[in-house]
Structure 1
Amino acid sequence: MPASNTASNTAMAGEIAKFDALATRWWDPAGPMAPLHRMNPLRCGWIARRLAAATGRAGEDLSGLAILDVGCGAGLASEGLARKGAAVTGLDAAGEALAAARAHAAAGGLSIDYRQGLPEDLAAEERRFDAVVALEVIEHVADRPAFLAALAAVTRPGGMVFLSTLNRTPKAFLFAKLGAEYLLRLLPRGTHDWRMFVTPAELGAEARRAGLRTTDIAGMVPGLPRQEWRESRDVSVNYIVAMRRD
């Protein structure tokens, strides 16, 4: 699929270029995506358990389910979900990141359908998935309501949408912006714009207008240095949400 026009409702050219520039180091667990590497087991496990329960499966079994990973980057979540049995389509507007995703999946013997484009492209093709995930993506899009509507459009009725993002709180500004980017240098400077963070209430209201109903929410907090993240009731910084399409 050719790259979509960056003047579309949801894509931002600057954000695409930002993540394309990180493509060659995306899979380095000690590189600029190190926080996502440590967060990924929590994200994928949380999603898998809820999706398996909603579809009558045990544990984290996703076999036979078609999942779309929107804003997949170089494929961290795509590979995590594929290893749990899902048939995964990874979608991103960043071509260099997708090239890294395809190479890494091939090296690991994983069959993942990586496509360049936007969710509205697949909606125009009338594609539908059992579940759609967009992890650490919505804080980088140009139009949240349009993005949520596109996610709903590519989810089958009764299917699920999973989002993870950052809350717009003073604590998130301190830890996720100043701390992570400037003090600890866990992320490249300029990775996030605090003004684009979204509160759970805002996200829930916008999702309802798109035909999505929130069914679960949890906070995600980092463990000790070099340890994986853990689930928490504290949603003041990072949080993950499950939604069902009506």
Structure 2
Amino acid sequence: MQAPQNSVDPSEIAKFEAMAAEWWDPSGKFKPLHMLNPCRLDYITTQIAGEFDRDLTAQAPFRGLRILDIGCGGGLLAEPMARLGAGVVGADAAERNIPVARVHAAQSGLEIDYRHTTAETLADAGEQFDVVLNMEVVEHVSDPLAYLTACRTLLKPGGLHICSTINRNAKSYMVAIVGAEVVMRWLPKGTHDWSKFITPEELYDLLSQAGLTPVDRKGFVFNPVTWSWSLSARDLSVNYVTASLKPA
């Protein structure tokens, strides 16, 4: 029997569109990420522009750069990178995130290569990128060193690796677990395992062991009065981000 020319089930697409709308709802369950995203993007774009000598006021300043967003979720970082002109691959180990991200990218008129895969699989395939975005992922993996080594393998010589995570101390337990999961209910209980949080010194050591050269780190600081996030050169007590380079 000849297969139908179009096997798309509109009801299934509608489900994904509904989920995509939730991912991108700034007042929905992903509100914390939407609140943090401008701060993350400020750091990411500044680091990329500085490393690759790009003018952020120019049209499509990241044109010609290939960027990998590991743990891309619904595409909250991948889409801005694409709008800035980069060729973007969004990868996520959670299979259900990929159709959601694809639907929203299509709705936004963006071409992004979303894949249900891992850093290790991409590295084994010989993929190479100018920039690897590794945001809020390393605290969830079973072997951080192996994972970061795969991220280094994925970079071209001289490539930029941006990695954010959560510090491990009493304050981070109260803020990231008790505050975010229990009091504010921003995240489901059990989202984070405090014992897997990584201090800035530990992350710098892991990055170095993985063959990367750390060059910068900043804190993401939440202000409960203004209800907003900002970058800090001194306060890395809870959320923080690092930049490192693969030797040329």
Instruction: Give me the TM-score of the superposition, normalised by structure 1.
Output: 0.87
**Aligned residue number for residue 11 of structure 1:** none
Cα distance between partner residues in 2 of 1:199 and 1:62:
31
1:30 CA displacement: 1.8
Would the aligned equivalents of 1:78 and 1:112 in 2 still touch at CA under 8 Å? yes
1:44 to 2:41 alignment:
yes
Would the aligned equivalents of 2:156 and 2:246 in 1 still touch at CA under 8 Å? yes
2:181 aligned partner, one-letter code:
E
Q: 1:10-25, aligned counterparts within 5 Å?
A: 25=22
**Aligned residue number for residue 188 of structure 2:** 188
2:155 aligned partner, one-letter code:
T
2:125 aligned partner, one-letter code:
E
Structure label with greater radius of gyration: 2
Would the aligned equivalents of 1:167 and 1:197 in 2 still touch at CA under 8 Å? yes
1:95 CA displacement: 1.2
Q: 1:61-140, aligned counterparts within 5 Å?
A: 61-140=61-140
User: Where in structure 1 are there 5+ consecutive unaligned residues?
Assistant: 1-21
1:38 CA displacement: 1.0
**Aligned residue number for residue 214 of structure 2:** 214
Q: Per-residue displacement from partner, 1:166-217 (whole Å, max 9, x unpaired)?
A: 0001100001110110011121211111111000111111110111111110
Would the aligned equivalents of 1:32 and 1:188 in 2 still touch at CA under 8 Å? no
1:57 CA displacement: 1.1
User: Where in structure 2 are there 5+ consecutive unaligned residues?
Assistant: 1-18
Would the aligned equivalents of 2:20 and 2:103 in 1 still touch at CA under 8 Å? no
Cα 1:225–1:83 shift into 2, 3 Å: farther
Secondary structure of 1:76's counterpart equals: coil
1:77 CA displacement: 0.9
CA RMSD after TM alignment: 1.6
Cα distance between partner residues in 1 of 2:178 and 2:212:
32
Higher relative contact order (CA 8 A, sep 6+): 1
Instruction: Give me the TM-score of the superposition, normalised by structure 2.
Output: 0.86
Which deviates more from structure 2 when the two are superposed, residues 87-96 or residues 22-31?
22-31
Would the aligned equivalents of 2:20 and 2:74 in 1 still touch at CA under 8 Å? yes
Cα 1:227–1:234 shift into 2, 3 Å: same
1:57 to 2:54 alignment:
yes
